[in-house]
């Protein structure tokens, strides 16, 4: 039948197979900090972690999984992701990005479930009071490398691997590092956050490049007090270091430029 002929055929929902459900799965990344036991001040030990829940119900009862749930009628998948994360963890304020859809027919033993996956970046402090829902027996932060070795429920292992690749790319191409930092920070703290997410990143001239290279200049600004004087901190160093903050500027980088 031609396209023109198809346009005149009334749509009948019964002619098409609909999914049995449209769930969302959320990969929640955070960076935890652990103070080092050293005589001199130093940066804390930082670890990239992911939030996992232990399922209370079948299927995969007792298995670790990503938080998530089914989209309700009249709700967008993004609204579902935010609601589910609030219900299952108590977290309400976070950076949320959509990154993929998972539709393999056998991904869920309950039926054909097309899952929409989101990546949330959350400050460690926001997860301190995390809680469980009726569907979760336990909620826990797990180092990403450890989580990758677990046999997660459904296809959540695949989703986690894809999300990790996504956050690593975004860390190198956008300003999402600010989601893991306080409003004001030192260059050393910024560098450590980047290498926590992207371990292979190494740049000896990082301070010069991030503050003076034309394509990056304007991403950061020196933090100043009400009197206009530069603000400094010696929280992690013997000498006071200049504090910086991210601006709203987004550089337009191109592989062709």
User: How far apart, in whole angstroms, are the C-alpha atoms of residue 197 and residue 190?
Assistant: 11
**Active-site residue, 12 included:** no
Show contacts of 151-156: CB within 8 Å, 24+ apart. Answer: 151/63, 152/52, 152/63, 152/64, 152/65, 152/66, 153/55, 153/59, 153/60, 153/63, 153/64, 153/65, 154/25, 154/60, 154/65, 154/107, 154/108, 154/115, 155/102, 155/104, 155/107, 156/25, 156/65, 156/66
Among residues 61, 79, 138, 146, the one annotated as catalytic is: 138
> What kind and span of H or E run contains 134?
none
Strand 136-143 versus strand 45-55 pairing type: antiparallel
Question: Which residues have a Cβ under 8 Å from the Cβ of 222 and sit 6 or more positions away?
Answer: 230, 231, 242, 243, 244
Bond into 59 cis (ω within 30): yes
Q: Which of 202, 193, 246 is nearest to 31 (CA)?
A: 193
Catalytic annotation, residues: 138
């Amino acid at each position: 039948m031609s396209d023109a002929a198809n346009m005149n055929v009334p749509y009948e929902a019964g002619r098409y197979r609909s999914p049995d459900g449209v769930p969302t799965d959320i990969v929640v990344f955070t960076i935890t900090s652990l103070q080092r036991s050293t005589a001199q001040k130093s940066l804390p030990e930082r670890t990239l972690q992911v939030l996992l829940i232990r399922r209370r119900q079948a299927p995969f009862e007792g298995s670790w999984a990503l938080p998530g749930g089914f989209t309700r009628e009249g709700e967008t998948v993004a609204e579902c992701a935010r609601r589910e994360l609030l219900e299952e963890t108590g977290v309400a304020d976070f950076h949320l990005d959509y990154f993929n859809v998972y539709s393999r027919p056998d991904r869920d033993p309950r039926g054909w479930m097309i899952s929409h996956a989101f990546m949330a970046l959350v400050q460690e402090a926001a997860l301190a009071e995390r809680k469980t829902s009726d569907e979760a027996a336990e909620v826990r932060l797990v180092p990403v490398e450890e989580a990758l070795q677990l046999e997660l429920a459904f296809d959540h292992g695949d989703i986690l691997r894809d999300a990790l690749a996504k956050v690593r790319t975004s860390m190198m191409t956008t300003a999402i590092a600010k989601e893991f930092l306080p409003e004001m920070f030192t260059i050393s703290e910024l560098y450590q956050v980047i290498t926590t997410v992207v371990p292979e990143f190494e740049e000896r001239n990082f301070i010069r490049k991030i503050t003076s290279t034309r394509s990056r200049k304007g991403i950061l600004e020196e933090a100043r007090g009400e009197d206009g004087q530069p603000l400094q901190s010696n929280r992690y160093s013997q000498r006071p270091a200049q504090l910086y903050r991210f601006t709203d500027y987004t550089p337009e980088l191109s592989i062709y430029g």
